[in-house]
Amino acid sequence: MKSFNWHTEAEKQWDERAEFWNANSRSMWDKGSRQTIIPFMGRFIDKGITVADLGCGDGYGSFKLYQAGYHVTGVDISEDMIRRAKSRVEEETLQFVQGDLVDLPLANESFDAVMAVNSLEWVQVPDEGLKEMKRVLKPGGKLCIGILGPTAKPRVNSYRRVYGEEVICNTMMPWEFEQLALESGWKLVDGHGVWKREVEGKDLSDLPQELQQALSFMWVFLLEK
C-alpha cells in the first residue's frame, strides 16, 4: 500500500485546483470573503514595508498588497499556482516563490509582516506552520491570518477523515487557533469576523466573541510577534 505524504498530496491537489482558484480569486478579494483583509491590515501595518503572503495561490491577494504599497513575496506549495502568479506581474517589489508553509524558503527575521489567509489549515501540523511564520518575522512584526469559521463550505475538504481517509485539511476552529497563538507567545492585537449573507447586517456586538466566531465564515486575526 502506497504511503500517504501530506506535502506531496497537498502540492498535487492544489495544482489540480489552480484553474478553479484562478477563476474565482479576483472576486473573493475584490468583493467577496477577503475584501476586508487588506484594508484591515492597513490600520496596523505601514505602507512600504515587506510582507510575505503565505499560501498566496494565484497571487491576486499579493498583487492587491503590492497595489496598496507593500513590498510583497508570495509563497505557495503549488507550482501551477506560482506559475499563474508570475504571469500576472512580477518585479522587484512583487516576487513569487514555490514553498511549503512548514519549510519556508525565506530567511530568518526577513519580513515586517505576514499575511496568511486560509492556508494554515492546510498543513499537517498547524503549530509547525505558525512557528515558521514567527521565524521569518522581524521582532515586533505583524501577522494577519484568516482562519475558516464553522460555516465555511471549504471545511468539507476535511470531512472524509471520519471514514479514516487521508485528507490535507485540518478543521481548526478560530478559537482553537487563538489558543494556539497565545500559547505560542503571540500577542493578540485585533480581529474581526467575515459572515455569510444570512448574517450580514445583523448586530452581533452583544454576543460573546466565541459565539460570533461560531457564526463566522472566517475569522481574521491581527497578531504581533
Contact 26, 88 (CB under 8 A): no
* pLDDT band at 199; cut points 50, 70, 90: confident
On the question of pLDDT at 1 being above 60, the answer is no
* pLDDT band at 200; cut points 50, 70, 90: confident
Contact 50, 136 (CB under 8 A): no
Mean pLDDT of the chain: 95
Instruction: Report how far residue 42's alpha carbon sits from residue 203's, in angstroms, rounded to the nearest whole number.
Output: 24
What are the domain boundaries of the chain?
6-224
On the question of pLDDT at 192 being above 50, the answer is yes
* pLDDT band at 2; cut points 50, 70, 90: low
Instruction: Report how far residue 37's alpha carbon sits from residue 102's, in angstroms, rounded to the nearest whole number.
Output: 23
Instruction: Quick: pLDDT tens for 210-220.
Output: 999 999 999 99
On the question of pLDDT at 182 being above 70, the answer is yes
Q: Which pLDDT score, from 0 to 100, does residue 90 have? A: 77
Determine the average pLDDT of the residues in 169-191.
96
> b/e map of 180-201 (b: 16 or more CB within 10 Å)?
bbeeeebeeeebebbbeeeeee
On the question of pLDDT at 84 being above 60, the answer is yes
Span 6-224: which CATH code? 3.40.50.150
As to burial, measured by CB atoms within 10 angstroms (0-12 exposed, 13-18 middle, 19+ buried), residue 151 is middle
Q: Which pLDDT score, from 0 to 100, does residue 70 have? A: 97
C-alpha cell at 188: 493578540
Three-state SS for 187? strand
Q: Is pTM beyond 0.85 here?
A: yes
* pLDDT band at 79; cut points 50, 70, 90: very high
On the question of pLDDT at 135 being above 60, the answer is yes
When mean pLDDT is compared over 16-25, 33-42, 149-158, the highest value belongs to 33-42
Three-state SS for 86? helix
C-alpha cell at 108: 530568518
Q: Which pLDDT score, from 0 to 100, does residue 91 have? A: 84
* pLDDT band at 92; cut points 50, 70, 90: confident
Determine the average pLDDT of the residues in 4-20.
92
